[in-house]
Chains A and B, each alone.
Chain A
Amino acid sequence: MTSKPCEQRFVPAFALLLSGFIAWAVHFGLIYGYTGLLCGRPDWARMSVGGIGIVPLGIAVMTVLPLAALAAVLARNGLLRAGANDGEALFEAPFYRDVTLGAAAIGLVAIVWQGVLSIWLVPSCW
């Protein structure tokens, strides 16, 4: 065979394509598990750090971490630079770039929607 270079490895490439949704899934699993664990233990759930309840504080931290990780992954793969869609690499092709960034956008909205609004609008456990 000739011409194009060897295809990227599938698992990392596919994971990058879906990174926004994966970040959402991680976030969802973390906050659900954390809330379920603490709300089942009233003594733990009533603890606070600096006046902020440990439940909303934990959710806030768990909301920031996946977002930061997502941003880091996208930046590392050059997907946050503008106008870089005419190169040879797979993720500089419009389809892969757009789907990756679209997934990241939906992931961002879903994470913020679930994480931040839940803390502001709903009492912790009771």
Chain B
Amino acid sequence: MRPAVYPPKELPNVSPRPAGELEALERIWRAPRGIHFLTVVNNNYIGVFYIATALLFFILAGILAMIMRTQLAVPNNNLISPSLYNQLFTMHGTIMMFLFAVPAVEAASVYLLPNMQAARDLPFPRLSAFAFWAYLIGGTVFFCSLFVGLAPDGGWFMYPPLTSFKFSPADNADFWLLGIGFIEISAIAGAIEIIVGVLRTRAPGQGLDKLPVYSWAMLVFAGMIIFAFPAIIIATYLLELERAFQWPFFISEQGGNPLLWQHLFWFFGHPEVYIIFLPAAGMVSMILPAMVQAPLVGYRLVVLAVVGTGFLSFGLWVHHMFATGIPRLSLSFFSAASMAVAIPSGIQVFAWIATIASGKLRLHTPALFILGFLFIFTLGGLTGVMVALVPFDFQVHDTYFVVAHFHYVLIGGMVFPLFAAFYYWIPTASKRPLSERLGRWVFWLMFLGVNVTFFPMHITGLMGMPRRVYTYPEFLNWGSLNLISTVGAYMVAAGVLIFLIDLVRNFRFTSTDDAGNVWNSGTLEWLPAGTYQTRSMPYVTSREPLWDQKGLAEDVEAGRWYLPGAQTGGREALVTSPIEARPQYILQIPGPGWPHVLGAVFTAAFFLLLTVKLVIPALVCGVLAVVFVLLWMWDTDPEPKPDVEIGGGLTLPTYMSGPSSHSWWAMVVLMLVAGTSFACLVFSYLFLWTTRPEQFPPPGITVPELGWPAICALMYVASAGLVVIAGRQLRTVPRSGVGSWRLQLLLLSGAPLLVCAGLVDLYSQWGAGLRPAASSYGATVYAVMAFQIFFIATVTIMALFTLAKSLVGRINGIRRATFDNTMLFWLYTAGQGIVGLALTHLFPRLIGAGP
């Protein structure tokens, strides 16, 4: 065996490669045929399905916009009814934001990231497939609610009290709350995949300083989802509890506060804008260098700007609430942050302009869309600075000026880069590129159409036209401007139609025979590839390796770099270290299968059946969803195989547990999601207390005796202690055999302690006379307990699953990732339980409400 040299001084593998190596790689990564094609998990397929579905929702939401614009074209129009108009604008906004924008950028990353990082696939391909199927099914049913008059109609931000049970008693709002809450779970699953994928599956040598800007943008995007989306999940959880059980979180008469919804919604909603924009900006930073044939100017500054935007975007949410009567000092913080966020956005714009100046811009269709993006987005940014100023915002709040502003930002900042991306990257997935001639028609129709549609809206807004009105009287003189906007909307629609014609004429999907590097780009996604991605994994020494490393494409395709075959005999990926991308181990990737598909189907069915109050069928589907997810998980912790050589004498393990393993990373990210969700609940409790302190607790309610929370806390601590001891015990379990009875006993005794802690707490509050429907205090206390009981139930299922795996010998001292994941979540749940006890038992005493 050769001595290992890393970084490599020469090509690590020799060619020609052994006979049959490439054929084996192709066979292993081949997509299933027939009906089993639905079980495909490879990112090339799932990414394209995902993008196509997002595009479908873009078109559907666009059709809704066309109906609205037709209705508004002339004064006093009665083409559609006011109630249908309410459903249309709600569905248009909701679909564009939740079913198009976020999934589209997530979808693009599922396709692009492994290509850009020369990885065989993302680390959890079944998770990507699960997220896709859940999204497709959930989104389709959600859209179809329009056809039965049950579509949500409270606006895309669904403010209570309008959307609570009193003013919206029908199921319309439930479709939004359960449907969108469910789709957010899909988005979070994708974000976990992206974080672990960006940080752990890269080409060797592709350190953070050589990471494509797009990967940086997706890392920030996923991080923002992790911290922003839990807020909307908690908001929907609270509003659905209020609607279903009359728990008064948002009802002022019972101590609630509708502003709580606005805080939670916009804590998600404003970062959401940047969640959409940053990936698009990342795409621009990738496309522009190819269009000018020169590296991106100011790479470090652009990375800094991307990360900075991600952080600062969390300090802006109240600028959607300037008109709600918040203290002026608080407003000033958000106004200042709203202005400050223009700085990193400006850095990126200037870096792009400098990049254009540094080379010779080739005006192909992607470049046209980028120029259009710069123009439209910058205008949207300028009006953004205007509405960041509190006095100006007071004047234009809820007028068409704001409609114009955010369409400039979102269409300019996301749709145009996405169309640039379609024209730019389609040659990597199609046998031939899209048409340049048609592309120019698409661009000009869309560019002119967007400006003709939305520029007049600034004026109609300043003239006082409020948003969300289904018609207007003639004497207000808004008619001609609205007619111009409608003509512009039809121009945009014509552009999109030509794009679809172009797709039909020229897009021919392939994962093995693509059009090639038609733009002479410098990044890794343009390497020759098959379903297995690149034949071998290159060592990367620059950010544009195809420009700087001569002969790279040929060497990669000939298998002269790392991991040229399927060394473990199955699907596998190279896991690298997060900072410098040094090879660490070989990840055995699961292949196609039905459980994750059926898990997604039944998860979607569970939420959708709940929406229409079919509780028993929903519960059956929920149980089936859990069963299929467990079946899917059963195979995801494979038997370690002997170490394998990937080239250049580098020998890597084929299994990893503990903090270095990808599954540990995923679980930590999941715990961050859980922690953020819980923090949002704590915020809700404290917010309601600050607004109505006399209601915490309400007169006549006493907090349970301290002995109750003390007993619960002891049980949490004991349970956590038992699982830690079980972890130590597991170290002694040999690699073969059917596990340890001590481990099994510890698991069996630890889980009931958690269950008891949750139930005892519930009993103590109920016994003290506290009822959730009677006051906002009771509602928040029970919401915290219900949240904790959900976690306890999850840990119990995980414990039983781990026990079952132990009983059949699938867990031992080496093969312990399943146990580690269970242990991490278990410890988190115990910790969360103790914090919850402190909040609901100690805090009331701290503010003087104790017995």
Cβ contact within 8 Å between B578 and A2: no
Distance in angstroms between the alpha carbons of A102 and B343 in the assembled complex: 13
Confirm or deny: A84 has a beta carbon within 8 angstroms of a beta carbon on chain B. Answer: no
- Selected contact of B329 from candidates A2, A10, A55, CB within 8 Å: A55
26 A-B pairs with C-beta separation under 8 A = A2-B3, A2-B4, A8-B579, A10-B577, A10-B578, A21-B307, A21-B308, A28-B333, A35-B327, A35-B329, A36-B327, A39-B329, A55-B329, A93-B209, A99-B307, A103-B304, A103-B308, A110-B337, A113-B336, A114-B336, A114-B337, A117-B336, A118-B329, A118-B332, A118-B333, A122-B328
Residue ID in chain B nearest A95 by CB atoms: B209
Distance in angstroms between the alpha carbons of A118 and B336 in the assembled complex: 8
Confirm or deny: A1 has a beta carbon within 8 angstroms of a beta carbon on chain B. Answer: yes
- Selected contact of A39 from candidates B301, B330, B332, B344, CB within 8 Å: B330
Cβ contact within 8 Å between A96 and B301: no
* Interface pick from B99-107, B309-317, B465-473: B309-317
Cβ contact within 8 Å between A2 and B209: no
Cβ contact within 8 Å between B208 and A32: no
Interface string of A7-27 (1 = CB under 8 A from B): 110100110011001101100
Asked if A106 meets B328 with Cβ closer than 8 Å, knowing A28-B337, A37-B690, the reply is no
- Selected contact of B328 from candidates A24, A102, A123, CB within 8 Å: A123
Q: Which of B323-355 contact A (CB under 8 A)?
A: 327-333, 336-337, 340, 343-344
Cβ contact within 8 Å between B333 and A32: yes
Give the interface size bracket for B toward A.
35 or more
Cβ contact within 8 Å between B300 and A122: no
Confirm or deny: B620 has a beta carbon within 8 angstroms of a beta carbon on chain A. Answer: no
Interface residues of B (CB under 8 A from A): 3-7, 199, 208-209, 300-301, 303-304, 307-308, 311-312, 314-315, 327-333, 336-337, 340, 343-344, 577-580, 582, 650, 690-691, 693
How many A-B pairs have beta carbons closer than 8 Å: the answer is: 120
Confirm or deny: A121 has a beta carbon within 8 angstroms of a beta carbon on chain B. Answer: yes
- Selected contact of A25 from candidates B6, B304, B311, CB within 8 Å: B311
Distance in angstroms between the alpha carbons of A55 and B329 in the assembled complex: 10
Main secondary structure of the interface of B (DSSP, over half): helix
- For A94, the chain B residues whose CB sits under 8 A away are 300
Cβ contact within 8 Å between B300 and A99: yes
- Selected contact of B691 from candidates A31, A40, A122, CB within 8 Å: A40
Report the 7 A-B pairs with minimum CB-CB distance, sorted nearest first. A95-B209, A21-B311, A39-B327, A40-B690, A122-B332, A102-B304, A118-B332
Confirm or deny: A109 has a beta carbon within 8 angstroms of a beta carbon on chain B. Answer: yes
Distance in angstroms between the alpha carbons of A84 and B690 in the assembled complex: 50
Interface residues of A (CB under 8 A from B): 1-4, 7-8, 10, 13-14, 17-18, 21-22, 24-25, 28, 31-32, 35-37, 39-41, 55, 90, 93-96, 98-99, 102-103, 106, 109-110, 113-114, 117-118, 121-126
Min C-beta distance of B133 to chain A, whole Å: 32
Cβ contact within 8 Å between B333 and A7: no
- For A96, the chain B residues whose CB sits under 8 A away are 208-209
Min C-beta distance of B211 to chain A, whole Å: 10
Cβ contact within 8 Å between A36 and B330: yes
Min C-beta distance of B310 to chain A, whole Å: 8
Cβ contact within 8 Å between A102 and B6: no
- For B315, the chain A residues whose CB sits under 8 A away are 24-25, 28, 114
- For A32, the chain B residues whose CB sits under 8 A away are 330, 333
Distance in angstroms between the alpha carbons of A122 and B328 in the assembled complex: 7
Cβ contact within 8 Å between A18 and B340: no
Asked if A10 meets B300 with Cβ closer than 8 Å, knowing A2-B6, A106-B308, the reply is no
Residue ID in chain A nearest B340 by CB atoms: A110
